[in-house]
Each structure stands twice: as structure tokens, then as C-alpha cells.
């Protein structure tokens, strides 16, 4: 009797090549290994980088041999009985093993959680989850381990952040997203009763808080954009969409909802259910926004975000928003100063930030702006808007308190 585990060239799945008593059977065993990673001589994953898979391969080979001995003893050794037996082994060994791994290892649980979340989460969120999953996999490969729930502590946190900064050169905002998702998966697994670890709930196990250093366009700049004659229809269309966003505060993924179908209150407001948070917001229509919607008969022509970001930079260059601006970005744990013409920093998100900042400077109550932008705390909102300390003081100086009568 001979049982050899093999992998067909260019394929990921493994199969058992069985030769016994003149019977030859080749049958898949329900285990996959990335093409080129399987060592056919040692019949294992090369380098022992995946101990769980190697254990499963050895277990499956042993069980197949036990199956054949049993079939020989009962006098039922046929090609069909061997295949049927392997099928049962596959079901009994691989599926429970995968479940057990999901009950022990963060990566496996996160994969299962993503599948479970697909019916209730938006496609953009699922894509974000997969990116975070890739960073966990990268960390495990870098440190040659598989993360168990009990391993996710402050030591892991510090090493993971360092891996993202030094090895992957990620921006702090990206790292924060991955930390948030890891905390979410750990909490979900805790709720599922799969572990008792609470290290991830420590105040120190947190997103990296880096103040945003991005630009906005003041009302005077928006006026220049609004009154300029564009050289072609493409830029005119992008300009109008940008202005709509500057006076409604919606995110780029909601631009297609800026139309007459969402008018309420006799066309004086827009009601929009946001893609990101699935919350309904009601936005008073600024005269500029109302005029643009009227221009397009209530339905502007929306373009891809990539094209939009390309065109709006050209729009700003056309109207002369080209003064040199320096912004600070944190990438790979290092602060980098970037100096370019202001138009080169303008993108779809600039419109939303401009809306919040200009509304705040115009004296619109903070809570009213937050109801539209979706910010849940004033602390976060005040970090979002682009108002200097001097501008804050100037705005505050107009309050009656600072004009009090002196007896």
C-alpha cells in the first residue's frame, strides 16, 4: 500500500495518489496550498511556514491509510469505496478543522466574520475589511506565526503598528483603520464566546490620532470658481459638481443623490441617505446649489471619482488657485512636508471640508453642521474644520460676552 500526497502543477489543491492491491485511486483531499509552496518530496508546505496545514496533511494521510486497512479487513476494498471513504474523511477532518481554526486564530475568524457581514455591510466596507485582513497576514508572515486571540495584546499592538509603519510604509490614517477593524473582530469574537482576552479594549490599544493637515477653499476662492468661464464642458461639469458638494457637504459616493428625486419641503431641501453610515440627512439648499441643480434640470451628470479629481485640479488651476501651499503628512511614522500649488491638493474631499469650515466661519451652529456632515462629537468636528486659533478667537470676539458693558 502506498499513499502519496501530490499537487498538480499550476493548481492549488492537493490530492492523494493511492496504490494498493492493484487498485489506483487519485482523489482530492480538500486541502489547498499556494502553487509552488508544496514540497512533493517531504509532502508538506515548504519551510514549515504553515504548521496547521502540515498537521492536517499528515492527519489526512494517516486516516486514508487507516481507511484502506479497514476496507481490506471487511473485504470491501474497491476504487469506489476508497473514494467514498475519502469523501467522508474530507468532510469530517477539513470542515471541523477550519471551524476550530476560526475559534482560535484571529485571521481565520476575521475571514469568517467578513463572509458573515456581506449581507449587512456595504461593498466599500467589505473591501476595507479585506485590506485589513491582508495586513494581518503580512504581519504573520513577517513574524512567522499565526495570531491567536490571546496573542492580541499590547506587545502585538506595538509590533503591528511598527510593521505597518516601517515595513509597509503606511500612513497613520490607514494604520488607524486596521487597528479599528482588529478591535472590531476581537470584540465580535469575544461576544461569540471564543476567547476571554480584553487587552484590545485597553485605552492604549487605540487608533493613531494625527491632526489632519489638509486644505479647504474659502468663500472668495469658491466665488472665483463659480464665476469663471471654463474652457470646455468636461471642466464645467466637474466645477458644478464640486460646487454642489461645497454647499451640501456630501461625500463623493453620494454625489449621484444630488438630484431632484431627493428634493423635499417644496424643493428647498435635499434628503439623502448616506452610503458610508446609512444615515438619513436633510440638507437646506444653498442658493448656489439650487441654481446648479436648476441648470441641469435637477439631474447633474456624475462622473467617476478618478476623473473628477483630475478635472477639479485643472479647474482650480484655470481660475488661478495656484499659490504655494505646504501640508504635513505622516507616513511610515515620519512627518513629511509637501509643498505644491494649492490646486494640486484639491480633490473631492476638499468640497466636504470646505462646506464644514465655511459654514462654521459663517456662524452656522456647530450641531446643525454636524447633523449634515455626520460627525458625532464636537471634538472630532473641530479637528475636521480648517480654522486657525486666531480665526477661532476672531469669531468668538464677536460674541456679546466679549462686548459686555463695563460699569
pLDDT tens, position by position, 234-277: 999 999 999 999 999 999 888 999 888 898 888 889 999 888 77
Question: Is there a contact between 398 and 372 (Cβ–Cβ < 8 Å)?
Answer: no
If one compares 402 and 115, the residue with the highest pLDDT of the two is: 115
Q: Average of pLDDT values for 18-42?
A: 85
User: Sheet harboring 263-264: ordered strands across?
Assistant: 263-264, 269-273, 280-284
Most confident of 65-69, 71-75, 398-402: 65-69
C-alpha to C-alpha distance for 178 and 163, rounded to whole angstroms: 12
Total structural domains within the chain? 3
Strand, helix or coil for residue 267 = coil
pLDDT at 47 over 70: no
The answer to the question of residue 206 being in a domain is no
pLDDT at 160 over 60: yes
| Helix, strand, coil percentages, rounded to 5, for the chain | 55, 15, 30
Instruction: Tell me which of 73-77, 107-111, 239-243, 292-296 is least confident.
Output: 73-77
Q: Average of pLDDT values for 375-395?
A: 74
For residue 220, give the C-alpha cell.
472668495
Instruction: Tell me which of 183-197, 212-226, 306-320, 325-339 is least confident.
Output: 325-339
Are 250 and 355 contained in the same domain? yes
C-alpha to C-alpha distance for 285 and 270, rounded to whole angstroms: 7
Query: Which residues form the domain of 70?
Result: 2-102
C-alpha to C-alpha distance for 67 and 16, rounded to whole angstroms: 13
pLDDT at 183 over 60: yes
Question: Is there a contact between 31 and 94 (Cβ–Cβ < 8 Å)?
Answer: yes
pLDDT at 357 over 80: yes
The tens digit of pLDDT for each residue in 301-332 reads 999 888 999 999 999 999 999 999 988 776 55
Chain-centre distance of CA 25, in angstroms?
45
Structure confidence at residue 282 (pLDDT): 92
C-alpha to C-alpha distance for 303 and 242, rounded to whole angstroms: 11
Are 197 and 253 contained in the same domain? no
Structure confidence at residue 98 (pLDDT): 58
**Closest by alpha carbon to 101, among 147, 38, 43?**
147
C-alpha to C-alpha distance for 191 and 202, rounded to whole angstroms: 17
C-alpha to C-alpha distance for 317 and 344, rounded to whole angstroms: 8
Question: Is there a contact between 330 and 172 (Cβ–Cβ < 8 Å)?
Answer: yes
Identify the domain boundary among 79, 102, 125.
102
**pTM of full prediction above 0.85:** no
Are 235 and 283 contained in the same domain? yes
Query: Which residue do the cell numbers 471513504 mark?
Result: 85
148: confidence class by pLDDT, cuts 50, 70, 90: very high
48: confidence class by pLDDT, cuts 50, 70, 90: low
Identify the domain boundary among 102, 132, 156.
102
Residue-level length of the chain: 407
Structure confidence at residue 289 (pLDDT): 94
**Closest by alpha carbon to 309, among 341, 346, 340?**
346
Are 55 and 189 contained in the same domain? no
Structure confidence at residue 215 (pLDDT): 87
C-alpha to C-alpha distance for 237 and 404, rounded to whole angstroms: 49
The answer to the question of residue 213 being in a domain is no
Are 155 and 38 contained in the same domain? no
Q: Average of pLDDT values for 69-93?
A: 82
Are 230 and 324 contained in the same domain? yes
**Closest by alpha carbon to 71, among 63, 60, 82, 62?**
82
C-alpha to C-alpha distance for 332 and 387, rounded to whole angstroms: 27
383: confidence class by pLDDT, cuts 50, 70, 90: confident
Amino acid at each position: 500500500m502506498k499513499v502519496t500526497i501530490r499537487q498538480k502543477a499550476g493548481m492549488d489543491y492537493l490530492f492523494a495518489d493511492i496504490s494498493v492491491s492493484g487498485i489506483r485511486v487519485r482523489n482530492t483531499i480538500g486541502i489547498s496550498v499556494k502553487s509552488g509552496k508544496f514540497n512533493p518530496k517531504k509532502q508538506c508546505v515548504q519551510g514549515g511556514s504553515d504548521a496547521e496545514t502540515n498537521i492536517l496533511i499528515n492527519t489526512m494521510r494517516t486516516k486514508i491509510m487507516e481507511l484502506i486497512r479497514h476496507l481490506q479487513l471487511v473485504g470491501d476494498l474497491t476504487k469506489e469505496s476508497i473514494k467514498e471513504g475519502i469523501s467522508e474523511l474530507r468532510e469530517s477532518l477539513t470542515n471541523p478543522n477550519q471551524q476550530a481554526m476560526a475559534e482560535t486564530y484571529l485571521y481565520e475568524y476575521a475571514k469568517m466574520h467578513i463572509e458573515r457581514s456581506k449581507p449587512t455591510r456595504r461593498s466599500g466596507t467589505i473591501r476595507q475589511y479585506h485590506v485589513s485582513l491582508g495586513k494581518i497576514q503580512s504581519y504573520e508572515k513577517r513574524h512567522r506565526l499565526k495570531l491567536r486571540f490571546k496573542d492580541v495584546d499590547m506587545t502585538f499592538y506595538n509590533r503591528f503598528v511598527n510593521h505597518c509603519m516601517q515595513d509597509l510604509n503606511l500612513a497613520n490614517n490607514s494604520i488607524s483603520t486596521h487597528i479599528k477593524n482588529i478591535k472590531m473582530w476581537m470584540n465580535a469574537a469575544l461576544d461569540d464566546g471564543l476567547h476571554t482576552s480584553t487587552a484590545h479594549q485597553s485605552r492604549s490599544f487605540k487608533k493613531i490620532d494625527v491632526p489632519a493637515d489638509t486644505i479647504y477653499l474659502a468663500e472668495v476662492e469658491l466665488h472665483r470658481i463659480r464665476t469663471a468661464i471654463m474652457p470646455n464642458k468636461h471642466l464645467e461639469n466637474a466645477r458644478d459638481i464640486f460646487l454642489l458638494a461645497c454647499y451640501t457637504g456630501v461625500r463623493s459616493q453620494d454625489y449621484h443623490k444630488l438630484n431632484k428625486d431627493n428634493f423635499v419641503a417644496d424643493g428647498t431641501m435635499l434628503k439623502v441617505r448616506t452610503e458610508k453610515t446609512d444615515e438619513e440627512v436633510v440638507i437646506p439648499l444653498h442658493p448656489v446649489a439650487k441654481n446648479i441643480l436648476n441648470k441641469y434640470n435637477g439631474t447633474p451628470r456624475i462622473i467617476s471619482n478618478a476623473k473628477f479629481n483630475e478635472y477639479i485640479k485643472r479647474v482650480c488651476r484655470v481660475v488661478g488657485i495656484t499659490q504655494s501651499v505646504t501640508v504635513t503628512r505622516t507616513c511610515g511614522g515620519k512627518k513629511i512636508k509637501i509643498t505644491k500649488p494649492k490646486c494640486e491638493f484639491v480633490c473631492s474631499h476638499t468640497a466636504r471640508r470646505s462646506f464644514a469650515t465655511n459654514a462654521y466661519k459663517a456662524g452656522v451652529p456647530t450641531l446643525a453642521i454636524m447633523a449634515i456632515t455626520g460627525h458625532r462629537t464636537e471634538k472630532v468636528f473641530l479637528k475636521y474644520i480648517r480654522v486657525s486659533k486666531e480665526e477661532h478667537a476672531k469669531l468668538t470676539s464677536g460674541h456679546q460676552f466679549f462686548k459686555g458693558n463695563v460699569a
